[in-house]
Amino acid sequence: MRIFSGIQPTGEIHIGNYIGAIKQWIKLQNENECIYCIVDLHAITSDYSPEELKESIINTAIVYLAAGIDPERASVFVQSEVKEHTELCWYLNTVTSIGELERMTQYKEKSKAKKKRANAGLLNYPILQAADILLYDTELVPVGEDQKQHIELSRDIAKKFNKHFGKTFKIPKAKLPEKGARIMSLKNPKNKMSKSGKKGNAISLFDDPKTIEEKIKSAVTDTDNKICYDPKNKPAISNLLVIYSEFKNQTVKESEKELEGVSYKIFKEKLTEVLVESLAPFRKKRKELEKRREVYVEEILSRGAKRANALASSKIVEVRRKMGLIN
């Protein structure tokens, strides 16, 4: 199967991104044709510093590789290096209604924060995402829960295009992890863990042991002292339990059983230990990759872009032909 997914090169990638997306990517790369993109064109719809963007792009590539993406199995590339993404985005603009875009939760949240200063890119953002996906005849898109609505819109856009211009695009499906599709903030389990959230809300993939310990120590818990999965009544402990289970590679049920009768304090110590142990290899691999930043990492990105470009350039010819544009 053809798989496509991406992460924005903004802020520090956290364990929510890992559990929601990257962990799935790693599993899928063994048996599928995977394309993992660094979506820099999406990142520029929010405030950013041009001087820091290049650095963030390479850092994101390093995260992919350090966390376990194998460049021999999956293509890793930077979105803006394959021009067809923006070209297809324009074409898809013409089959997408403004109303559909205005209904997107992410747009509503981001534009509300910006008030009247929201840029048009923020509104059109999901069309670019649809272009990313449809350009490669993607079948499966492994993402966290917050992206589900965007994938549904991509499906609608593909269907509309196919109806209008004849069968051109595959209809992609979102793939969410069973548990952990929405990891919550350690500071407030009503909010999603996020790169831009309150300090200490997220654990970065490269946090050192001391930082992990402090963040887990100060993570909020629920009132009683029982460890069980009950997101409605015990949202904080349920969230920590999902994180624990995901890093121990066991089911939540198995964790509940293991932690029966254990106090919150001991649970937090165990969780810290699991996180420190699981993230140590990522930190080690990053150190090695940092030294090979200019040659090895950039070479992987350039190889990935070549591969993506080969697929994208033939697809765009088909799209142009279907739309009656001169090739």
39 is a contact residue toward ligand TYM (CB under 6 A): yes
How many Å is the Cα radius of gyration of the chain? 21
What lies within 8 Å, CB to CB, of 44 at 6+ separation is 53, 121
Annotation marks residue 217 as catalytic: no
Closest approach of Cβ 217 to ligand TYM, in Å? 20
* Residues facing 36 on adjacent strands: 5, 76
Closer by beta carbon to ligand TYM, 190 or else 291? 190
Does position 172 interact with ligand TYM (CB under 6 A)? The reply is no
**CA 75/CA 195 separation, integer angstroms:** 25
Choose, from 110, 148, 173, 322, the residue flagged as catalytic.
110
The residue annotated as part of the active site, out of 23, 175, 179, 192, is: 192
Out of 148, 160, 170, 195, the active site residue is: 195
**Segment interacting with ligand TYM (CB under 6 A) among 19-27, 266-274, 279-287, 307-315:** 19-27
76 binds ligand TYM (CB under 6 A): no
Segment interacting with ligand TYM, rule: CB under 6 A, options 140-148, 207-215, 225-233, 266-274: 140-148
Is residue 144 a contact point for ligand TYM (CB under 6 A)? Answer: yes
Give the DSSP H/E element, type plus range, for residue 141.
strand 140-142
* Number of chain residues interacting with ligand TYM (CB under 6 A): 26
Of residues 193, 274, 312, 319, which one binds ligand TYM by CB under 6 A? Answer: 193
Residue 284 a catalytic site member: no
Residue 89 structure tokens:
């985005």
Judged by CB under 6 A, the residue of 124, 147, 201, 245 near ligand TYM is: 147
Q: Residue 273 carries which side chain, given as an amino acid letter?
A: E
Give the x/- contact pattern for ligand TYM in 80-119, rule: CB under 6 A. Answer: ----------------------------------------
Of 3, 16, 36, 64, which lies in the binding site for ligand TYM, with binding defined by CB under 6 A?
Answer: 16
Among the listed ranges 16-24, 48-56, 86-94, 249-257, the one in contact with ligand TYM (CB under 6 A) is 16-24
Nearer to ligand TYM, 71 or 172 (CB): 172
219 binds ligand TYM (CB under 6 A): no
As a three-state string, the secondary structure of the chain is CEEEEEECCCCCCEHHHHHHHHHHHHHHCCCCEEEEEECHHHHCCCCCCHHHHHHHHHHHHHHHHHHCCCCCCEEEEEHHHCCHHHHHHHHHHCCCCHHHHHCCHHHHHHHHHHHHHCCHHHHHHHHHHHHHHHCCCCCEEECCHHHHHHHHHHHHHHHHHHHHHCCCCCCCEEECCCCCCCCECCCCCCCECCCCCCCCCCCECCCCHHHHHHHHHCCCCCCCCCCCCCCCCCHHHHHHHHHHHHHHCCCHHHHHHHCCCCCHHHHHHHHHHHHHHHHHHHHHHHHHHHHCHHHHHHHHHHHHHHHHHHHHHHHHHHHHHHCCCCC
Residue 309: closest CA among 22, 37, 7: 37
Question: 3, 21, 76, 312: which one contacts ligand TYM (CB under 6 A)?
Answer: 21
308 in contact with ligand TYM (CB under 6 A): no
Q: Does 42 participate in binding ligand TYM (rule CB under 6 A)?
A: yes
Residue closer to ligand TYM, measured from CB, 182 or 215? 182
Q: Using CB under 6 A, which of 12, 139, 146, 273 touches ligand TYM? A: 146
To the query of whether residue 215 is one of the catalytic residues in this protein, the response is no
Active-site amino acid positions: 110, 192, 195
Contacting residues toward ligand TYM, per CB under 6 A: 4-8, 16-17, 19-21, 39, 42, 129, 132-133, 141, 143-144, 146-147, 150, 181-183, 192-193
